Structures are given as C-alpha cells and as structure tokens.
Amino acid sequence: MVRFDREKKEKVHLDTVKTIMDYVSEKINSFDSIIISDYAKGVISEELVEEVIALAKKKDKPIAVDPKVSHFDFYKYATIVTPNNDEASMASGIEIENEAGLLRAGEVLLNKLGSDAVLITRGEHGMSLFENNGEITHIPTVAKEVYDVSGAGDTVIGTVALSMASGASLKEAAVISNFAAGIVVGKIGTATVTPKELKDAVDNGLAEKRRR
C-alpha cells in the first residue's frame, strides 16, 4: 500500500491562534497539565507557545514540550522539554558522541531554554534528565526487547505530563516515563500502556533494584 498525503504547513491565521488561546484560557483551570507536541505543521507558532506557557505559569500548571529542532527558541520557560538524542545535538550545536558531549548539550539546552528540566531520550541508552538545580540523572533503559519504536516519544511526553499532574517530581516523572517507553517498544505498531502494565513494570523494577 502507498499513501500520499497532501498538506499545507504554513502558519495558521492569527484568528485561529486567538481561537486556540480563547479555548485554553477558558479551560485551563480544569487542566492538570499541558502538552505541546510540535509536528511543525503550522499550528505551533512562537506567539502561541509564548502565550500558552505564560498562562500555564500564571496558573501553576506544568507544561511539557515534545519539540521540533527548528522551533527550539519557542519553548523558553516550559517546565520540561523532551528532545531525542539527535534533536538535542542539533538544537545545542554539540555532537553527542560520548558522555562529555551529552553533558555539554544538556547544559547548553537548559541555559538556552530557561526551563525547569530537559529530558534527553537516548534510545537503547535510556534517558538523561538535566534539572535547573544542577542535578543530572542518567536513567538506563528497561526495555527487554524492542519490536517497534513507533509512538515511544508520544508515550514519554504523555507519561511525563501525567506523572507531574499527579504530583511526581521531575525525576520521578522521567523514571516512570522510561518504564512506559520500555513497554511500548516491546509491542508491534503504535501501542499504548495500560495502568496495570505500568504499575507492574515499576514494581518489578523496584524489586529488581532491591535484589542488587
């Protein structure tokens, strides 16, 4: 099968931006957290992101961003931004080939964005969380077998946002999202994680850690 998509990726009209902001402003008190998942299709603009982040900060709502490299300057002061290894390398201008490059890239992105944290997802190498308090946490992958990485990034950003909305710290949210990603890559196709699967994975991970 072959699928052809026809799309327009121009910036949406300012009237559309206003409609989106009116909706967010009206509903934000019922939100526990906000996700900006940027596909660079024209909706995510600097003006929109700036307004959404400012409103989220005012209402004390955590805001998580799944970024596009060309828009990195838009995400200043988001709670957490979750680039993958390649995106982090391109956005920071630093080739991430070893731990030194990784540490430097994380530092550059934190300073560039002024966010609370940057979570760099690194495939089979797990994740690295850089917090603005100076803490750096490397989280090893928990995936047993990898069948399909489709949707892994969406799983990470969704789990991070849900965890923060539930009261988890940035570090706890990152660890939980790592477990969730480890589950979905073990399934074929764009998969989801059930609450039981996630709870079992975390419980098993904690039990394994205690045995060491």
Tokens of 12: 């949406």
Residue type at 69?
A: V
- Asked if residue 111 is part of any domain, the answer here is yes
pLDDT, residue 56, reads 96
- Asked if residue 162 is part of any domain, the answer here is yes
Tokens of 25: 């402003």
- Asked if residue 159 is part of any domain, the answer here is yes
pLDDT, residue 122, reads 92
pLDDT, residue 55, reads 96
- Asked if residue 27 is part of any domain, the answer here is yes
**CA torsion angle for 43, 48, 53, 56 (degrees, to 10)?**
-90
Given the residues 5, 60, 154, 200, select the one marked as catalytic. 154
- Asked if residue 173 is part of any domain, the answer here is yes
Exposure string (b/e) for 156-178, b if CB count within 10 Å is 16 or more? bbbbbbbbbbeebebeebbbbbb
CATH of the domain at 158: 3.40.1190.20
200 included as an active-site residue: no
Cα gap 158→1, rounded to integer Å: 30
- Asked if residue 50 is part of any domain, the answer here is yes
Provide the domain count of the chain. 1
pLDDT, residue 19, reads 96
Residue 139 pairs in a beta bridge with 127
- Asked if residue 3 is part of any domain, the answer here is no
pLDDT, residue 148, reads 64
pLDDT, residue 147, reads 63
Instruction: Report the chain (212 residues): mean pLDDT per 10 consecutive residues.
Output: 84 92 96 94 92 96 95 95 95 94 97 97 92 96 73 91 96 95 86 91 78 68
- Asked if residue 192 is part of any domain, the answer here is yes
Q: Which domain holds residue 39?
A: 14-211
